[in-house]
Amino acid sequence: MAAAKVLHAHHHPSAKLVVDVHRPGHIAGLAELMASRGFAPVRYFHRMEHPLGNVPFVAARIEPWSERTDEDFRRVRNAAFEDCWGAAPMPADQWRNKIVNQTFRPEVSFLSRDADGAPAGLLVTMSWDADTEATGVRDAHFMIVGTLPGHRRRGVAGALLAHALRAAAEQGYDRASLVVDSASPSGAPGVFEKAGFAPKTRYIRWALEA
């Protein structure tokens, strides 16, 4: 908390400072610790999982990530999450650092296009080799699933999920997972449940206005 105040004063002195903690709700003593420091729960998220086996094929206009389409991916991500709680635009350098890094899985990351060829949605997958070694489970984590506002409720996300699930299964992943905001304005939890994902762990975001 002390370090956050120093960074805030150095980089964003005119903005309000909020310190947050995002952890699974089942950790013993965490809620009591947060409350003792003045933090309050402000948002709830769910980790959802989908076992991979025989995944049906869904025909759609979907293409894999490539260097050529990387900027389309970034722009769609920024536009798709404009109305999402806590989200901020990702400039190109942050995109390369946080997304297109050593954990990024381009072979299970896809862009959806509309009938005119314009981008409509995206799905970005990441996987951690250390987790696979520790658990014996090769998990395809769908880090970003987003649809542009003008294309929502047209099956874009569902088609992307089906396509990515099939690709992950064909490439030997044991499971797919994702984390979703329980109060998502786009109704994402229902979309993921329809695609076969089931809630496994609840995460709580605690925040303190400092």
Cα 180 to Cα 160: distance, rounded to the nearest angstrom: 16
Q: How confident is the model at residue 210 (pLDDT cuts 50, 70, 90)?
A: confident
Does residue 107 contact residue 64 with C-beta atoms inside 8 Å? yes
pLDDT tens-digit map of 25-66: 999 999 999 999 999 999 999 999 999 976 655 556 899 999
Handedness of CA 54, 59, 61, 67 (dihedral sign): positive
Neighbours of 9 (CB within 10 A): 10
Domains and CATH numbers, the chain: 43-202 (3.40.630.30)
Please state the pTM of the whole predicted model: 0.88
Write down the mean pLDDT value for the chain.
93
pLDDT tens-digit map of 57-109: 555 689 999 999 999 999 999 999 998 888 889 999 999 999 999 999 999 99
